[in-house]
């Protein structure tokens, strides 16, 4: 009810402000008392009216209550609006920052992202499937608040002890606190209704899931912050459409671009919000194109402005983030092996950094062989056989991204086994060699069996014992672009291994083997002799005590090459996250119905338990509103299509429903539907961006539904009903938050199915695990 | 191109011909009109006609009123249509029984045909049963008895198998596609010349010929989808006053249902058709000139396009299930109740088993987990290793596993905790929901036990063991509470097969669960069984049901062993309703995921557009004669070109319209949009889903999408010709297509045999795999 006073007030103040703006068209400034003179303008295109924050006072008078409200608002000027916003801000921050330091141990994925934050502080190179911005910000927050990067973040449950972890958590929580505020502003902008905005904010503030996910060192609050900020600035930008190329127009455009870069720089999920903004922009340009009062040059200007603001600028920022990432992380670390030899040579502490090794490949050397395909691994073998039914049951040969002693191979002549004394012979282009796996003493071998995954290729195995095998172990070494007699340069020569017996070439297909192959990458022998990076290799490590070590400078890779390389590694890593067999994995249809949460901390009765689960009242209300929204839109669009005459209030409501609601529905769909097509392992928390959109849609839908009470009831009763509805909604959200708050703020003691528990009787679904 | 102008012009006959029951037409007037329109046959008839003005193609014959004398029959035959139909029949049906050997996927569909002939139950996750049934119908008409083992591609058919009848139905469908695209183009309001073009493109497409000539389903699917669109457009273009048009609508719904029944891919075309129908209805709603949308129209659409397809889809399953009533190799995928309903399967064993489980009953407990492999609770004389590979310890008690084969070690005896007897009292004391029982392993007499020890593979869950007392202060915890999850009353009795039971461990309130993980070597690779805390556990892996059951009679272990070894027997038929069977089967078909691996000829969707890939279907046992699925490169190129051109054209038109330039009259624009909706839309819905699928895909999956492009090409050419530029290259494309078709003929029909050099010459792309025999 309170919110209605606000709604009224906002209109008045906005209107007073707009009197002074000069570029407005189709709009007169109307004193609030002159209701009648306003009426003609409601029928003018809504686009134009809604450019100012206020809207036709007729509706406001219908929806708001009586004269006392007007008196109240007039007397107090702008303050109640601010009070409402301040209330949202205050509630949001207090719910997120409350008990921020508890539990004082590592929770769930903090073990990854905390660790990666530490890597930035220590400047150690690592590899992760997400772009670096989020972790950089976490590292920065930690650095600013006195965390020294020494905590190892080994596994969930490790005690933080004296470490300053609160800064990183606090940073995430602060960003998370902005979500309800942004949602409030977005809904306000889309629906011009403070009630709708306030409902949305309340739903998000008191959702236990949103609170929990904001309170820990995770990427999600950062990601959602950027997503919501991007949507907010996009909506604000839409409102500027009647004053193009003004300062505020440019401001919101640039801000949208910056936030898009931020969202995409944290997680690839940011792509969905880019799509949303992209679709919105296309729609906007389409509208401009249809505006025949604009010349084509004007349209081109609009187009170019958007290209700069929404494509070039974010791209530049995104690339900058990566540049910073590569500059900051200049020490060798756990991520080295994923990258090419050239890249590794710029990491301090890596064995290729200022490398010193024998310059030319020689017989008897111990080497590692790296595939030249981007993000290709090292030629690898281990004590495991191919399983039954996959070619012949010999030892597996794979490509593996990590550095490992199983990547070491010995170079032999085709005939002899022992390396001779004295200075060893050098290997030349066209020589026939044998590669023996150092750890298992098997030879690199191929034969006419189908490869495990790429059926058109032949299988590559490890065969023989102590280096004794058969003629299928012989490989002809070729330097790409070389002539007979050329020496093989370590690190710099691209070489190919041609199988003597079958004439195929050693090849890395890039496909991930199933579990029996430890999810390493398949290596095959390809009968297609085309030169591709997949069939080219280089010699990376080269150990031969009999040869002098020479300092080698490796060609430094271009920045764009590193960028491309790291992206391919990331994408491959992402799709490689396949669900494990014995893990109960979450399915997308579980999420909207709040089927099952995620355990952040603690399992049994004595531990401090935090459980990520949405407030069921909020989530189920969201779900119901989605259905309700569809029905309402269907009814509205049929009536409009059929040409029934509607009152101005209805027309405006259906405009809000279709435009604003449509945008939010699209946002929800874009952030939810793609997960159905993803093969990677999915978690409950992936739904949260979509949930934000769903909640905003709920705000608009419920508000309009309650506003439509006058369809069935006479005016005074409809107002009462509306207010009763709002109160019931507010109270039920608050009460359910009171019931479920231990999920977020932690609980100890017996589990929910026992009577003594704090959560007794609240396990409404069997699948909840608290 | 010898068709009568009169026939061509028949498309623009005036309203006088329109109504189905038109009676006042005399031969003179018909001929006269024909002559009259003949004079202006040059101008294409596309623009601005109302739908009502266009019905009844020349091929339909019509009677004039019976009462009027003299009795005259006016027949109009579109000779072009007849000609292309005959050509299509000739290309698809001639020498159908060559090669007399199993060709490519015939080896896959053949096994199902055999099973139909023997009426043995099977489950195929690749698609609903209608397609298989159509193939089986052909075999049935040809007198195939099902006695042929489809084990490898290239195996010769024995003389007892009528190869012709196996292949004739798909070939017929493939042939009928050609006249159908002709008619469909006309329904899209393009000229007869375009229609002829589309028909010729389809006629000369090598890949479609190959795919039609064998016992494969694509041609059937394409035929049904085209039929659905054709009959829907017929319905839409008919005057609203006609009642007969609802027959077309019904036909459209039926063919949609049939298309989905043949392959799931049909679903996407169905959705497209629904979308088109929705748009039409939506426009009707907005049409202020129509005073009210007739409820009959709405109801007709609803019934024909929604209700009928759903019902028919279920009906296909009804047929399938009533045809296949014998047990077979795939029985074990299904629930016990389902199996019991099949002749000779589980029913052979379970018939006459006592229904109510009682204290002293001997039972096998089957896990209800809906996995590929069924399994039964099992134990054997082997203990858990003292330490696992990763260093964790175990209780070292007897292993309890889930075993996917029938075995005497799957028998358990239900024991009352308070009594020692292991035999059933007279009268039997049934076990009810909520009762506490002990389970004794029949062969080793160990009690089913669980305790707070981590399970071998799933350490978060409790170990389940057969209790061995090692005197190490680890007491027996062998009480289990029976929790019937599908009970109707609180004190329901535990019933054989029907009841799904959870066994809740009394001491720890954990639930007996199949974890689904295979044990390592020490556990003989059997499946792990654990006890999971109830609050974590949900889903079907908790449920168990009694499959085999008898009342135990022998107290002594030795006697009992003998009793367990003896087979169970008896007879009563257990019925489950059709709906339960349908839902179970449908669910299994969607849920069963076979491990997909790459096939030698599998390909990625993007390779199809450029035809980077081919499939070798068959190679003669001794010679170089071979059959390949290769498209006609010319028509393939034309198709891609027209797809691109349409999109380009549409983009230009739309941008210009937006700026207020109306290049096309509204009627032509509508026609252009409709063409895009059906053809480009059809291509999109039949192609894009494959990009998202993680299945093994083949070139033939692209054929339905390709057919839409063949519809598009000539129509687009006509549009360009009429409204943009007047070019004349029409005739060169069919000529080129025809010559290329000739070139690839030997690979399409598998004869004549080509030499290695000739074959090498046909390898137009490096990526094609054409086989040479080394001699």
β-bridge mates for residue A508, sequence order: A523
Q: Is A623 left (phi over 0), alpha (psi -120 to 50) or beta?
A: alpha
Q: Give the whole-angstrom CA distance, residue B357 versus residue B350.
A: 13
The mean per-residue pLDDT over the stretch A147-166 comes to: 82
β-bridge mates for residue A523, sequence order: A508
| H or E element in which residue B111 lies | helix B106-118
In the numeric block, the tokens 């809000």 are attached to A656
Give the highest mean pLDDT range of A185-189, A566-570, B563-567.
A185-189
DSSP B607: H
B27's tokens: 């031969």
From chain B, the residues in CB contact with A766 under 8 A are 535, 538
pLDDT value at position A598? 84
Greatest extent of chain A over all pairs of C-alpha atoms, in Å: 107
Q: Do the bridges between strand B462-466 and strand B527-533 make them parallel or antiparallel, or are there none, so unpaired? A: antiparallel
Sequence-separated (6 or more) residues with CB below 8 Å from residue B17: B25, B30, B33, B55, B56
Q: Give the whole-angstrom CA distance, residue B154 versus residue A563.
A: 51
Query: Is the model more confident about A608 or about A212?
Result: A212
Does residue A293 sit at the B interface (CB-CB below 8 Å)? no
Q: Give the whole-angstrom CA distance, residue A506 versus residue A444.
A: 10
- Residue pair A522/A453 in contact (Cβ under 8 Å)? The answer is yes
User: Looking at chain A, which residue has its C-alpha nearest residue B527?
Assistant: A582
3-state secondary structure (DSSP) of residue A580:
coil
User: Looking at chain A, which residue has its C-alpha nearest residue B767?
Assistant: A528
- Chain-chain contact of A766 with B538 (C-beta, under 8 angstroms): yes
Q: Give the whole-angstrom CA distance, residue B99 versus residue B749.
A: 9
Q: Is A602 left (phi over 0), alpha (psi -120 to 50) or beta?
A: left
Query: Looking at A108-112, A416-420, A563-567, A631-635, which range is the least confident one?
Result: A416-420
- Chain-chain contact of A582 with B288 (C-beta, under 8 angstroms): no
From chain A, the residues in CB contact with B536 under 8 A are 769
* Closest residue by Cα to residue A376 from A196, A594, A182, A569: A569
In the numeric block, the tokens 């690898």 are attached to A380
* Closest residue by Cα to residue A464 from A489, A442, A486: A442
From chain B, the residues in CB contact with A581 under 8 A are 516-517
Q: Give the whole-angstrom CA distance, residue A726 versus residue A708.
A: 13
User: Looking at chain B, which residue has its C-alpha nearest residue A390?
Assistant: B597
Does pLDDT of A528 surpass 80? no
Q: Give the whole-angstrom CA distance, residue A113 versus residue A136.
A: 10
Alpha carbon B145 to its chain's center: 25
Q: Give the whole-angstrom CA distance, residue A705 versus residue A712.
A: 11
Does residue A292 sit at the B interface (CB-CB below 8 Å)? yes
3-state secondary structure (DSSP) of residue B18:
coil
- The whole-model pTM stands at 0.75
Does residue B694 sit at the A interface (CB-CB below 8 Å)? yes
* Residues comprising chain B, all counted: 775
pLDDT value at position B12? 36
Compute the nearest-CA separation of A528 from chain B (Å).
Answer: 10
A769's tokens: 């695990």
Sequence-separated (6 or more) residues with CB below 8 Å from residue A450: A391, A457, A458, A459, B600
pLDDT value at position B162? 86
Full DSSP string of B202-218: HHT-HHHHHHHTSS-SH
- Residue pair A2/A84 in contact (Cβ under 8 Å)? The answer is yes
Does residue B525 sit at the A interface (CB-CB below 8 Å)? no
The gap between the terminal CA atoms of chain A, to the nearest Å, is 36
- Chain-chain contact of A752 with B535 (C-beta, under 8 angstroms): yes
From chain A, the residues in CB contact with B538 under 8 A are 766-767
pLDDT tens digits, A325-350: 888 888 888 777 777 777 777 778 77
User: What is the average pLDDT value for chain B, to the nearest integer?
Assistant: 79
The mean per-residue pLDDT over the stretch A102-125 comes to: 86
- Chain-chain contact of B658 with A286 (C-beta, under 8 angstroms): yes
Angle between helices A715-745 and A194-205 (to 10 degrees): 20
- Residue pair A696/A224 in contact (Cβ under 8 Å)? The answer is no
CA-to-CA dists, residue A207 to A158, A686, B216, B741, angstroms = 28, 16, 55, 66
Compute the nearest-CA separation of A73 from chain B (Å).
Answer: 44
Q: Give the whole-angstrom CA distance, residue A220 versus residue B612.
A: 43
- Chain-chain contact of A751 with B600 (C-beta, under 8 angstroms): no
Does residue A641 sit at the B interface (CB-CB below 8 Å)? yes
* Closest residue by Cα to residue B222 from B206, B201, B202, B245: B202
Name the B residues in 495-524 with CB < 8 Å from any A CB: 515-517
Q: Give the whole-angstrom CA distance, residue B17 versus residue A28.
A: 61
- Residue pair B226/B707 in contact (Cβ under 8 Å)? The answer is yes
Q: Give the whole-angstrom CA distance, residue B180 versus residue B177.
A: 5
User: What is the average pLDDT value for chain A, to the nearest integer?
Assistant: 81
Full DSSP string of A630-655: HHHHHHHHHHHHHT----HHHHHHHH
- Residue pair B357/B546 in contact (Cβ under 8 Å)? The answer is yes
**Three-state DSSP string of A59-86:** HHHHHCCHHHHHHHHHHHCCHHHHHHHH
- Mutation pick from B534, B600, B658, B662 vs chain A, by most beta carbons of A within 10 Å, is B658
Q: Which residues of chain B have pLDDT under 50?
A: 1-66, 569-573, 775
In the numeric block, the tokens 């072009």 are attached to B80
Query: Is the model more confident about A747 or about B312?
Result: B312
Cα angle: B563, vertex B568, B572; to 5 degrees: 150
Sequence-separated (6 or more) residues with CB below 8 Å from residue B161: B142, B144, B148
Nearest to A641 among B285, B517, B692 (CB): B285
- Residue pair B194/B715 in contact (Cβ under 8 Å)? The answer is yes
* Closest residue by Cα to residue A307 from A278, A264, A347, A270: A278
β-bridge mates for residue A366, sequence order: A410, A543
β-bridge mates for residue B616, sequence order: B628
Does residue A767 sit at the B interface (CB-CB below 8 Å)? yes
Sequence-separated (6 or more) residues with CB below 8 Å from residue A78: A9, A13
Counted across chains A and B, CB pairs separated by less than 8 A come out at: 48
CA-to-CA dists, residue B342 to A217, A551, A648, B531, B681, angstroms = 57, 77, 66, 33, 43
Sign of the four-CA dihedral A358, A361, A365, A366: positive
- Chain-chain contact of B286 with A455 (C-beta, under 8 angstroms): no
3-state secondary structure (DSSP) of residue B67:
coil
pLDDT value at position A699? 93
Q: Give the whole-angstrom CA distance, residue B82 versus residue B648.
A: 35
Full DSSP string of B509-560: -EEEEEEEEEP-GGGTTPEEEEEEETTT--SGGG-EEEEEEEE----SHHHH
Name the B residues in 628-667 with CB < 8 Å from any A CB: 655, 658-660
- Chain-chain contact of B535 with A642 (C-beta, under 8 angstroms): no
pLDDT tens digits, A253-289: 999 999 999 999 999 889 999 999 999 999 999 999 9
* Closest residue by Cα to residue B439 from B517, B538, B505, B496: B505
Tell the burial category of B643 from Cβ atoms under 10 Å away from its Cβ (0-12, 13-18, 19+).
buried
β-bridge mates for residue A434, sequence order: A412
From chain A, the residues in CB contact with B694 under 8 A are 679
Helices (H) then strands (E): counts for chain B: 24, 16
**CB atoms inside a 10 Å sphere around CB B613:** 20
- Mutation pick from A293, A453, A530, A582 vs chain B, by most beta carbons of B within 10 Å, is A582
Give the highest mean pLDDT range of A96-100, A316-320, B97-101, B524-528.
A316-320
Query: Is the model more confident about A585 or about B723?
Result: B723
The mean per-residue pLDDT over the stretch A690-694 comes to: 94
B698's tokens: 């083949």
Does pLDDT of A169 surpass 50? yes
Nearest to A455 among B457, B598, B692 (CB): B598
Alpha carbon A70 to its chain's center: 46
pLDDT value at position B46? 36
- A148-157 as b/e: b if 16+ CB within 10 A: ebebebeebb
Q: Give the whole-angstrom CA distance, residue B748 versus residue B628.
A: 6
**B596 φ/ψ angles, rounded to the nearest 5 degrees:** -90, 130
């Amino acid at each position: 009810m309170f919110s209605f006073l606000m709604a009224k007030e906002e209109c008045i103040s906005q209107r007073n402000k707009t009197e002074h703006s000069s570029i407005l068209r189709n709009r007169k400034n109307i004193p609030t008392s002159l209701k009648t003179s306003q009426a003609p303008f409601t029928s003018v295109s809504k686009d134009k009216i809604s450019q100012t924050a206020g809207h036709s006072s007729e509706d406001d008078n219908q929806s708001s209550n009586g004269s006392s409200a007007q008196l109240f608002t007039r007397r107090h000027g702008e303050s109640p609006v601010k009070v409402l916003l301040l209330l949202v801000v205050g509630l949001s921050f207090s719910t997120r920052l409350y008990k921020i330091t508890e539990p004082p141990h590592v929770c769930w994925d903090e073990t990854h992202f905390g660790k990666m934050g530490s890597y930035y502080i220590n400047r150690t190179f690592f590899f992760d499937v997400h772009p670096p911005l989020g972790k950089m910000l976490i590292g920065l927050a930690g650095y600013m608040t006195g965390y020294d990067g020494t905590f190892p973040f080994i596994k969930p449950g490790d005690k933080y002890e004296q470490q300053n972890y609160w800064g990183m958590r606090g940073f995430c929580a602060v960003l998370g606190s902005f979500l309800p505020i942004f949602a409030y502003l977005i809904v306000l902008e889309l629906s011009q209704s403070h009630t709708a905005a306030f409902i949305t904010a309340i739903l998000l503030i008191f959702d236990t899931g949103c609170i929990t996910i904001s309170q820990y060192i995770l990427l999600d609050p950062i990601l959602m912050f950027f997503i919501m900020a991007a949507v907010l600035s996009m909506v604000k930008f839409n409102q500027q459409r009647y004053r193009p190329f003004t300062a505020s127009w440019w401001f919101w455009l640039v801000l949208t671009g910056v936030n898009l870069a931020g969202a995409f720089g944290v997680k690839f999920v940011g792509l969905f919000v880019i799509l949303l903004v992209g679709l919105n922009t296309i729609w906007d340009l389409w509208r401009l194109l249809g505006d025949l009062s604009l010349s084509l040059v004007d349209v081109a200007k609009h187009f170019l402005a958007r290209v700069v603001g929404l494509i070039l600028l974010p791209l530049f920022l995104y690339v900058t983030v990566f540049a910073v990432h590569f500059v900051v992380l200049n020490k060798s670390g756990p991520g080295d092996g994923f990258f090419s030899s050239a890249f590794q040579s710029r990491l301090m502490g890596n064995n290729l950094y200022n490398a010193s090794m024998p310059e030319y490949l020689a017989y008897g050397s111990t080497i590692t062989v790296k595939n030249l395909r981007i993000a290709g691994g090292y030629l690898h073998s281990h004590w495991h056989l191919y399983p039954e039914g996959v070619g012949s049951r010999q030892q597996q040969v794979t490509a593996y991204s990590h550095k490992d002693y199983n990547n070491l191979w010995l170079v032999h002549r085709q005939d002899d086994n022992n390396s001779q004394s004295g200075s060893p012979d050098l290997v030349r282009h066209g020589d026939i060699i044998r590669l023996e796996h150092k750890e298992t003493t098997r030879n690199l071998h191929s034969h006419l069996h189908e490869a495990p995954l790429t059926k058109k290729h032949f299988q590559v195995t490890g065969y023989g014992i102590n280096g004794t095998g058969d003629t299928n172990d012989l490989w002809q070494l070729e330097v790409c672009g070389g002539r007979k007699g050329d020496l093989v340069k370590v690190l710099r020569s691209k070489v190919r291994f041609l199988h003597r017996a079958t004439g195929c070439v050693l090849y890395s297909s890039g496909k991930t083997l199933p579990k029996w192959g430890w999810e390493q990458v398949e290596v095959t022998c390809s009968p297609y002799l085309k030169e591709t990076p997949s069939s080219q290799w280089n010699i990376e490590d080269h150990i031969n005590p009999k040869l002098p070590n020479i300092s080698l400078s490796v060609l430094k890779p271009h920045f764009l090459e590193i960028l491309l390389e790291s992206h391919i590694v990331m994408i491959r890593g992402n799709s490689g996250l396949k669900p494990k067999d014995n893990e109960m994995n979450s399915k997308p249809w579980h999420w909207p119905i709040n089927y099952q949460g995620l355990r952040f901390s603690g399992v049994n009765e004595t531990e401090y338990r935090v459980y990520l689960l949405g407030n069921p009242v909020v989530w189920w209300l969201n779900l119901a509103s989605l259905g309700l929204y569809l029905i309402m839109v269907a009814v509205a669009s049929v009536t409009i299509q059929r040409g029934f005459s509607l009152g101005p209030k209805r027309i405006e409501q259906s405009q809000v429903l279709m435009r604003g609601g449509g945008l939010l529905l699209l946002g929800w769909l874009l952030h939810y539907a793609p997960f159905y097509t993803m093969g990677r392992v999915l978690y409950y928390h992936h739904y949260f961006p979509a949930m934000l959109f769903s909640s905003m849609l709920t705000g608009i839908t419920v508000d309009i539904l309650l506003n439509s009470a006058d369809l069935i009831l006479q005016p005074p009763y409809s107002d009462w009903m509306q207010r009763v509805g709002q109160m019931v909604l507010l109270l039920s959200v608050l009460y359910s938050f009171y019931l479920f708050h231990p999920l977020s703020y932690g609980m100890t003691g017996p589990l929910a199915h026992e009577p003594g528990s704090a959560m007794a009787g609240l396990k409404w679904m069997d699948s909840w695990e608290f | 191109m010898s068709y009568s102008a009169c026939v061509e012009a028949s498309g623009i006959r005036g309203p006088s011909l329109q109504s189905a029951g038109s009676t006042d037409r005399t031969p003179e007037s018909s001929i006269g009109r024909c002559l009259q329109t003949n004079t202006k046959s040059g101008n294409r008839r596309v623009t601005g006609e109302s739908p009502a003005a266009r019905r009844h193609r020349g091929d339909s014959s019509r009677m004039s009123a019976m009462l009027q004398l003299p009795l005259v029959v006016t027949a109009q035959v579109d000779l072009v249509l007849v000609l292309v139909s005959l050509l299509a029949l000739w290309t698809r049906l001639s020498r159908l029984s060559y090669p007399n050997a199993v060709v490519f996927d015939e080896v896959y569909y053949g096994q199902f045909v055999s099973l139909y002939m023997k009426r043995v139950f099977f489950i195929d996750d690749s698609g609903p049963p209608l397609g298989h049934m159509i193939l089986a119908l052909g075999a049935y008409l040809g007198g195939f008895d099902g006695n042929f083992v489809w084990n490898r591609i290239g195996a010769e058919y024995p003389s007892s198998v009528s190869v012709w009848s196996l292949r004739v139905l798909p070939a017929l469908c493939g042939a009928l596609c050609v006249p159908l695209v002709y008619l469909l183009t006309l329904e899209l309001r393009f000229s007869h010349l375009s229609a002829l073009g589309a028909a010729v493109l389809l006629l000369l497409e090598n890949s479609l010929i190959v795919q039609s000539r064998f016992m494969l389903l694509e041609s059937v699917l394409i035929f049904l989808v085209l039929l659905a669109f054709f009959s829907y457009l017929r319905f839409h273009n008919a005057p609203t006053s006609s009642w007969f048009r609802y027959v077309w609508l019904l036909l459209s719904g039926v063919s949609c249902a049939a298309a989905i029944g043949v392959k799931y891919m049909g679903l996407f075309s169905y959705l497209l058709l629904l979308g088109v129908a929705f748009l039409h209805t939506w426009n009707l709603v907005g049409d202020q000139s129509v005073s009210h949308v007739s409820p009959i129209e709405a109801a007709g659409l609803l019934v024909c396009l929604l209700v009928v397809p759903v019902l028919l889809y279920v009906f296909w399953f009804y047929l399938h299930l009533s045809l296949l009533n014998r047990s077979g190799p795939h029985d074990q995928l299904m629930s016990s109740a389902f199996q019991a309903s099949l002749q000779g399967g589980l029913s052979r064993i379970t018939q006459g088993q006592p229904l109510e489980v009682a204290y002293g009953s001997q039972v096998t407990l089957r896990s209800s987990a809906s996995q590929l492999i069924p399994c039964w609770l099992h134990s054997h004389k082997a203990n858990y290793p003292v330490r696992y590979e990763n260093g964790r310890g175990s209780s070292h008690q007897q292993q309890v596993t889930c075993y996917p084969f029938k075995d005497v070690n799957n028998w358990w005896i239900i024991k009352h905790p308070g009594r020692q007897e292991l035999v059933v009292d007279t009268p039997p004391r049934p076990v009810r929901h909520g009762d506490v029982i002990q389970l004794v392993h029949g062969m080793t007499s160990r009690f089913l036990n669980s305790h707070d020890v981590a399970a071998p593979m799933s350490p978060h869950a409790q170990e389940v063991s057969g209790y061995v007392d090692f005197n190490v202060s680890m007491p027996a915890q062998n009480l289990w509470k029976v929790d019937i999850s599908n009970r109707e009353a609180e004190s329901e009795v535990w019933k054989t097969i029907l009841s799904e039971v959870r066994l809740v461990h009394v001491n720890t309130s954990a639930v007996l669960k199949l974890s689904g993980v295979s044990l390592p070597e020490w556990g003989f690779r059997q499946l792990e069984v654990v006890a999971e805390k109830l609050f974590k556990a949900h889903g079907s892996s908790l449920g168990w049901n009694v499959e085999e059951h008898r009342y135990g009679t022998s107290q002594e272990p030795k006697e009992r062993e003998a009793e367990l070894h003896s087979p169970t027997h008896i007879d009563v038929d257990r019925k489950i309703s059709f709906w339960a069977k349908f839902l179970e089967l449908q669910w299994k078909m969607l849920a069963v995921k076979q491990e997909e691996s790459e096939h030698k000829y599998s390909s990625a969707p993007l390779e199809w557009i450029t035809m980077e890939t081919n499939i070798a279907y068959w190679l003669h046992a001794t010679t170089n004669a071979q059959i390949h699925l290769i498209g006609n490169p010319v028509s393939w190129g034309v198709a891609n070109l027209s797809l691109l051109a349409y999109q380009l054209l549409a983009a230009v038109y739309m941008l210009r319209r937006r700026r207020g330039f109306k290049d096309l009259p509204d009627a032509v624009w509508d026609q252009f949009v409709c063409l895009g909706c059906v053809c480009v839309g059809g291509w999109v819905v039949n192609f894009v889903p494959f990009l998202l699928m993680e299945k093994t895909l083949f070139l033939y999956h692209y054929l339905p999408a390709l057919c839409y492009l063949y519809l598009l090409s000539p129509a687009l050419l006509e549009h360009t010709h009429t409204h943009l530029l007047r070019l004349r290259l029409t005739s060169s494309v069919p000529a080129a297509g025809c010559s290329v078709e000739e070139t690839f003929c030997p690979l399409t029909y598998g004869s004549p045999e080509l030499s290695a050099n000739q074959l090498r010459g046909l390898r137009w792309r490096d990526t094609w795999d054409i086989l040479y025999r080394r001699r």
